[in-house]
Structure 1
Amino acid sequence: MERVTHELASVLGGVVYSLDVQGHSSVLDDPLLVTYPRTRLPSPVSFGRLKLPLPSSQLLSLLLSPRPLHGHLPSPGVLLILLLARLVRPRRCVTAHWHCFLEPHRGINGWLYGVYQRLALLLMPLLCGVVTTSPLLAQELNRCGCPQQKVSVLPCCLSQQQEQLGLALPLPQARVGAPLRVVFIGRLDTYKRLDWLMEALSTLSSPWELAVVGDGPLRPHFEHLAKRSAHMFSRVRFLGRLSESEKLEQLGRADVLVLPSDRSNEAFGIVQLEAMAAGRIALAFDRPRSGMGWVGQLSGLPWSQSPDGLAEVLQRLADQPALRQQLSMQSRDRYRTLFARGVWLKHVQRLGYAVGTSSV
């Protein structure tokens, strides 16, 4: 979500307001080098993980401004700001960016987020428009009561540098007899389901290699699983967090990226675009209320896009190097057609965002 906000703000200018949920308002140096002004809104009022802004001069300035306002959800605090801005200036252009549908956990926090999402869906028609990241999420917003004419699709994008570096990578060659090279990139936590990927790979009759990029609380658990599932032809490497250049190097070595997330909270993986620009196959599940499966869909690779079908599609890719090479070209072509930065900029222009639009 932060990268989407950054790319929009870089193109449109305006002021970016962010809720200071981690209490960094006293930090003078901004760790992200940007070309647009940024302002932190103090938000010390907390209900579990729900953060709401307190009255402040920054908040008052944001609410009274006549500039168009675009807010990024899910966030109860941002939703509150959008509604207040609409109330204070009924003619002001106030829009929302619906990044994902939440799947609340059990417990008080999960209950609060469930209430928030139901409330947000009820209130979306009151705004001037809603932008979401895939046709699947747009259809779901329509089904939940948001008028079709108010919903627009703007897929995520890569930065200009990321795109150039990815497109410059050579396509993988058909390596007969060589292991299938799989890469996983993400936080090592429960919903990423790295365990499902390792289980699927352990059933293959062909050799494979898995590079795991990322870190998290479940890394020791996954490392233990890797030792149990590995066999003489295969190996799993845990690389931890890598720099952008090191991550690109791992994509360059891979045949396929797999993101086996089991929740709709992850609706659009930017790393899928990085893999596709590099000409690598990107596999993800077709989950309800998620566009992850849609992003990397290839006409030349029909499969169930379900956990039960993961082992079968990986076996097919491992056994058919020529198919992998063909699909690599299709993946890059799909990126250029749907997600390239030039295509994204045209989408932004068609949405009619005004230069100087503020965002929160």
Structure 2
Amino acid sequence: MRILQLGKFYPIRGGVEKVAYDLMTGLSEQDVRCDMMCAASQGGSRIIPVNKNASVICCHTWMKAAATMISPAMIFALRKNCRNYDIIHVHHPDPMACLALLLSGYKGKVVLHWHSDIQKQKILLKLYSPLQQWLLRRADKIIGTTPVYLAESPFLRGLQKKTVCLPIGVQPMCSAPKAAEKIRNQYANKKIVFSLGRLVAYKGYCFLVEAAKYLSDDYVVLIGGTGALKDELQREIKELGIEGKVKLLGRIGDEDLPAYYGACDVFCLSSVQKTEAFGIVQIEAMSCGKPVVATNIPQSGVAWVNAHGISGLNVEPGNAEELARAIEAVTKDETAYRHYATGAANRYKELFTQERMIEKCMKIYMEL
């Protein structure tokens, strides 16, 4: 088989791109030819060899508008190369990739990976809707990351016969005990609550900051990531007088992430909107045996990923006090903590390993 993962950006910055890249590398390591074509967020068109069976085909981008890379080069590149592939695996949402597929003249099999509905860009959605409807009809198989999202997305109604659930899988976070111990020493005698993500509205960090107000001084909240709301969150921390209980860490490099996952007692995903469709950071934390406190976002798969009462607890979105109470419940005593920690590790192994994702994706391809 020859497979093309189509869509999003390079270098890898978000969850959708990471899934496409991990599928490419995982499948290519099993002797399947699998390339990835995407818009270059910096630099011109180029081909980046990954291994003997995989390359990233980067297409020059004119500009970014409404969270979409405008890359006419992708249209020409796909039209030139599409006949080299048995299956094109499109990662949605990405209007540019959809347009390129439409104009490519490709006649082979199409897999549509429905990572999330378009939520924020309402005007873009109106313009894109006819193209999106074409893509849904064109797809031979539609993949969703959770059964909840497949069942609840209004765009997938009437298409259930060609949908299949493929949960995202990741490699386990490598242990970094010395670095983790250094962080724990920095916050000695504290229970560490860790969160990671872009500092944007749908992540609900204002509620996690407020939750610290309800936690005792035995806790410290560490938030990794950068974004537009950094200054606003810092002001909130100062106004609440909790500078000693909440720390904005800024960007954490990939090499340092295992230490923070290893050092924390509990991971918190405070997101409040359906834009958060899965929450890869949850399964990264679970791979380290860390309990998760997340939110019951309507029509999102977040609460399915974090099984309530097993791998952690899920609370009402936008409720700071409930977040705090859930964090306390998970960490209140050794018995409760061990229950959630063991549940988190087991759920990762059962559902969210990268090997499992690759194996199931291969089966989907073989059926087509």
Q: Same fold (TM over 0.5)?
A: yes
The Cα offsets for residues 132-156 of structure 1, whole Å up to 9 and x where unpaired, read as 2111111124873352221111111
Question: In structure 2, which of residues 133, 136, 144 is the aligned counterpart of residue 124 of structure 1?
Answer: 136
* Deviates further, 93-102 or 211-220: 211-220
Question: In structure 1, which of residues 11, 15, 18 is the aligned counterpart of residue 26 of structure 2?
Answer: 11
Question: In structure 2, which of residues 59, 84, 88 is the aligned counterpart of residue 41 of structure 1?
Answer: 59
Q: Is the 8 A contact 1:63 1:81 kept in 2?
A: no
Q: Distance in 1 between matches of 2:66 and 2:207?
A: 30
Question: In structure 2, which of residues 151, 154, 176 is the aligned counterpart of residue 139 of structure 1?
Answer: 151
Q: Is the 8 A contact 1:183 1:258 kept in 2?
A: yes
**Percentage identity across paired residues of the two chains:** 23
Question: What is the CA distance between 1:73 and its match in structure 2?
Answer: 1.0
SS of corresponding position for 2:102:
helix
- The answer for the alignment partner of 2:346 in structure 1 is 333
Question: In structure 1, which of residues 192, 198, 202 is the aligned counterpart of residue 213 of structure 2?
Answer: 202
Asked if 1:278 is matched to 2:283, the reply is no
Aligned Cα RMSD in Å?
3.4
- The answer for the alignment partner of 1:244 in structure 2 is 254
- The answer for the alignment partner of 2:309 in structure 1 is 299
Structure 2 residues not aligned, in runs of 5+: 1-15, 28-32, 181-187
SS of corresponding position for 1:60:
helix
- The answer for the alignment partner of 1:223 in structure 2 is 234
Question: What is the CA distance between 1:29 and its match in structure 2?
Answer: 8.7
Letter in 2 for 1:278: C
Question: What is the CA distance between 1:89 and its match in structure 2?
Answer: 4.3
Letter in 1 for 2:57: T
Structure 1 residues not aligned, in runs of 5+: 171-176
Q: Is the 8 A contact 1:132 1:152 kept in 2?
A: yes
Q: Distance in 1 between matches of 2:66 and 2:238?
A: 37
Asked if 1:155 is matched to 2:171, the reply is no
Higher relative strand content: 2
Question: What is the CA distance between 1:302 and its match in structure 2?
Answer: 5.3
Q: Distance in 1 between matches of 2:57 and 2:314?
A: 46
* 1:239/1:190 CA distance change after superposition, 3 Å: same
Question: What is the CA distance between 1:331 and its match in structure 2?
Answer: 0.5
* 1:157/1:249 CA distance change after superposition, 3 Å: same
* 1:66/1:243 CA distance change after superposition, 3 Å: closer
Q: Distance in 2 between matches of 1:76 and 1:140?
A: 22
Q: Distance in 1 between matches of 2:254 and 2:65?
A: 35
Q: Distance in 1 between matches of 2:63 and 2:256?
A: 39
Question: In structure 1, which of residues 60, 68, 86 is the aligned counterpart of residue 87 of structure 2?
Answer: 68
The Cα offsets for residues 122-141 of structure 1, whole Å up to 9 and x where unpaired, read as 64133111112111111124
* 1:225/1:14 CA distance change after superposition, 3 Å: same
SS of corresponding position for 1:24:
coil
Q: Distance in 2 between matches of 1:128 and 1:166?
A: 43
- The answer for the alignment partner of 2:364 in structure 1 is 351
The Cα offsets for residues 276-299 of structure 1, whole Å up to 9 and x where unpaired, read as 000111222222332122212243
The Cα offsets for residues 207-249 of structure 1, whole Å up to 9 and x where unpaired, read as 31111211223222212222333459x5222222122232211
* 1:219/1:212 CA distance change after superposition, 3 Å: same
Letter in 1 for 2:23: L
Q: Distance in 1 between matches of 2:358 and 2:262?
A: 27
Q: Distance in 2 between matches of 1:130 and 1:10?
A: 21
* 1:220/1:327 CA distance change after superposition, 3 Å: same
SS of corresponding position for 1:245:
coil
SS of corresponding position for 2:255:
helix
Question: In structure 2, which of residues 198, 208, 213 is the aligned counterpart of residue 187 of structure 1?
Answer: 198
Letter in 1 for 2:324: A
Q: Distance in 2 between matches of 1:112 and 1:266?
A: 19
Question: What is the CA distance between 1:43 and its match in structure 2?
Answer: 4.7
